[in-house]
């Protein structure tokens, strides 16, 4: 196990698809900020999915939402997460655990990432209970069917979703 010297900045990566970012994500980022010197929100540029928002839009929305968090940066990445982490000198992955149902997939990812790079550790943070049922998939579904997302996604994101729906009509 490699020990970090106190002078080495503790850089954490919070990876995800963020299509779109919701308040559960923001809550996890805000919990991570005081623990690490820097939190890099890493947005996966996933060509195999059909996202509602493009990679540039997702990055832009996150930057807007996180503008008041000086320890937080937003970057996109493609390929293996551990390769991106190596490039930026990060050793810690932050993931949110909303419920026991998240555990199995998260556990598999944590072990695979550690297998790919033994220096990488995953830490799990739990969001506020009021966000424990929230997911990007559900927010998109509810919004596209006309449901109210007030208080569940940042206002800037809600605005973009409204614009996107107008264009889709
Ligand atoms: O928001 P999501 O979709 O749950 O995030 C999943 C993500 C982006 C963390 C995961 O798919 C990922 O890290 N993809 C990058 C490719 C990779 O490294 N795969 C092996 C992970 S074990």
Compute φ and ψ for 117, nearest 5 degrees. -150, 100
User: Is residue 10 flagged as an active site residue?
Assistant: no
20 lines ligand 1 (CB under 6 A): no
111 lines ligand 1 (CB under 6 A): no
Q: Tens digit of pLDDT for each residue in 76-117?
A: 999 999 999 999 999 999 999 999 999 999 999 999 999 999
Asked if residue 84 lies in contact with residue 77, where contact means CB atoms within 8 angstroms, the answer is: yes
Vertex 88: Cα angle to 96 and 125 (nearest 5): 15
Sketch out the chain's domains with CATH numbers: 11-168 (3.40.50.620)
Provide, for the chain, the percentages of residues in helix, strand and coil under a 3-state DSSP scheme, each rounded to the nearest 5: 45, 15, 40
Ligand 1 mutation pick, 44, 76, 137, max ligand atoms within 8 A of CB: 44
Q: What is the pTM of this model?
A: 0.94
CA-nearest of 158, 101, 51, 18 to 166 is 158
Asked if residue 21 lies in contact with residue 63, where contact means CB atoms within 8 angstroms, the answer is: no
44 lines ligand 1 (CB under 6 A): yes
User: Is residue 140 flagged as an active site residue?
Assistant: no
- Lowest mean pLDDT across 98-112, 139-153, 155-169: 155-169
Catalytic residue from among 95, 136, 140, 160: 136
User: Is residue 49 flagged as an active site residue?
Assistant: yes
Q: Could you give the percent of the chain with pLDDT greater than 70?
A: 95
CA 48, CA 101: separation in Å to the nearest integer? Answer: 24
Structure tokens at 17: 């698809």
């Amino acid at each position: 196990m490699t020990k970090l010297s106190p002078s080495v900045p503790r850089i954490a990566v919070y990876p995800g698809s963020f299509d779109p970012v919701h308040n559960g994500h923001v809550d996890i980022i805000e919990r991570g900020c005081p623990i690490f010197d820097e939190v890099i929100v890493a947005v996966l540029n996933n060509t195999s999915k059909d996202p509602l928002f493009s990679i540039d839009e997702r990055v832009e929305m996150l930057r807007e939402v996180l503008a008041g968090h000086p320890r937080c940066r937003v970057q996109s990445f493609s390929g293996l997460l551990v390769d991106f982490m190596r490039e930026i000198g990060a050793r810690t992955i932050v993931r949110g655990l909303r419920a026991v149902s998240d555990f199995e997939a998260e556990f598999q990812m944590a072990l695979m990432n550690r297998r790919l790079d033994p220096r990488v550790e995953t830490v799990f943070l739990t969001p506020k209970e009021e966000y424990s049922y929230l997911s990007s998939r559900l927010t998109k579904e509810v919004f596209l069917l006309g449901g109210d997302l007030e208080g569940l996604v940042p206002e800037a994101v809600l605005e973009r979703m409204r614009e996107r729906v107008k264009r889709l009509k």
